[in-house]
Amino acid sequence: MDYFLKIVTVGNMFTNCGIVGNPETMECVVIDPGTEAGKIKKEVADSGYTPVAILLTHGHFDHIGAVNELRKEWDVEVFAGAKEVELLGDSVLNVSSQAWGACTVAPDKTLSDGDVIEAGGMFITIFEVPGHTVGSICFLFPLYGIVFSGDTLFADSIGRTDLPTGEPKVLIESLVEKLFALPDDIQVFPGHGPSTNIGYERRNNPYLKELLRDSVQYIDESDIKKRKFPFFRKKKTD
């Protein structure tokens, strides 16, 4: 299905800000406008698409820095995970006061696991993926076959868990139960770095392999293909 996609890399953390547009409505959503509001504004204007919503994968400073300026300029609503509201509103928890300067965001709408929103005639499914932060979410565009994974999953890497509300075990659960439950050919657009796809990361992501080694002895590939839960079974001892 035809769609518009532009990744704009912003700031010294090289945050990927995603612009996804529907050619039928000529409307777009903007995901994680981390900083450089002017650059994002220009990219959206040049695209010819009208922004209708700002979507946040999580509340870290490098993903929210341009939100307040752009929401005013565009008069659009800001969507974020329901469990991320506290972090978004706390400049210590969202690390902004330790980095680029205190910044907080109050979302207009909050999202929970399994929610489906419609924006610009595009359907977007929400997955809660706690671990990098407690209220991290991913945005899946099922008709386009793309997912925005925030700082949960990267090409050949995974999100850090040493910042406030981070939890390594919970991150692994989110990857296994949510992102890796998606079909192999779903294209992944992470919050930083190059894009990848689900199948490649499920098979090759080195961090995941390492972290799973302690707790899981046996991975049933056929279960993954059938998308059954849980993916992991303890090795039969008899």
Tell me whether residue 60 or residue 202 sits nearer to Zn ion (CB atom).
Answer: 60
Does residue 83 bind Zn ion (CB under 5 A)?
A: no
Taking the complex as a whole, the smallest distance from the CB of residue 151 to Zn ion amounts, in Å, to 4
Q: Which is nearer to Zn ion, 32 or 43 (CB)?
A: 32
Which residue's CB is nearer to Zn ion, number 119 or number 129? 129
- Residue with Cβ nearer Zn ion (20 or 56): 56
Kindly indicate which of the ranges 59-67, 137-145, 166-174, 222-230 contains the residues binding Zn ion, using the contact rule CB under 5 A. 59-67
Minimum CB–partner distance for residue 31 and Zn ion (Å): 13
For residue 55, what are the contacts with CB-CB under 8 A and spacing of at least 6? 29, 30, 31, 32, 78, 79, 80, 119, 124, 139, 148
Min dist CB 208 to Zn ion, Å, is 18
Smallest separation, CB 162 to Zn ion (Å) = 11
Q: How far apart are CA 132 and CA 39, in angstroms?
A: 27
Could you give phi then psi for residue 155, rounded to 5 degrees? -65, 115
* CA atoms of 129 and 84, how far apart (whole Å): 11
Cβ atoms of 135 and 56 within 8 Å: the answer is no
| 45-53, 55-63, 99-107, 172-180 -> range binding Zn ion (CB under 5 A) | 55-63
72 Cβ contact list (under 8 Å, min separation 6)? none
Min dist CB 76 to Zn ion, Å, is 22
Q: Beta partners for 30?
A: 19, 54
CA neighbours closer than 13 Å in the CB half-sphere of residue 60: 24
List Cα–Cα distances, 56 to 187, 200, 221, in angstroms: 18, 25, 32
CA dist 49 to 54, 81, 191, 231, Å?
A: 14, 25, 22, 40
Shortest Cβ 133–Zn ion spacing (Å): 7
Q: Which is nearer to Zn ion, 43 or 151 (CB)?
A: 151
**Is residue 32 a contact residue for Zn ion (CB under 5 A)?**
no
Task: Give yes or no for residue 60 binding Zn ion (CB under 5 A).
Answer: yes
Phi, psi torsion values for 65, nearest 5 degrees: -55, -30
Nearer to Zn ion, 151 or 201 (CB): 151
Residue list 125-184, contact with Zn ion (CB under 5 A): 151
Q: List the structure tokens of 109.
A: 């709408």
Please work out the total of residues on this chain that contact Zn ion, with binding judged by CB under 5 A.
2
Q: Helix and strand tally (H, E) in the chain?
A: 8, 16
Q: Quick one: 165 or 196, whose CB is closer to Zn ion?
A: 165
Give the nearest distance from C-beta 144 to Zn ion in angstroms.
Answer: 24
Which residues of this protein are in contact with Zn ion, per CB under 5 A? Answer: 60, 151
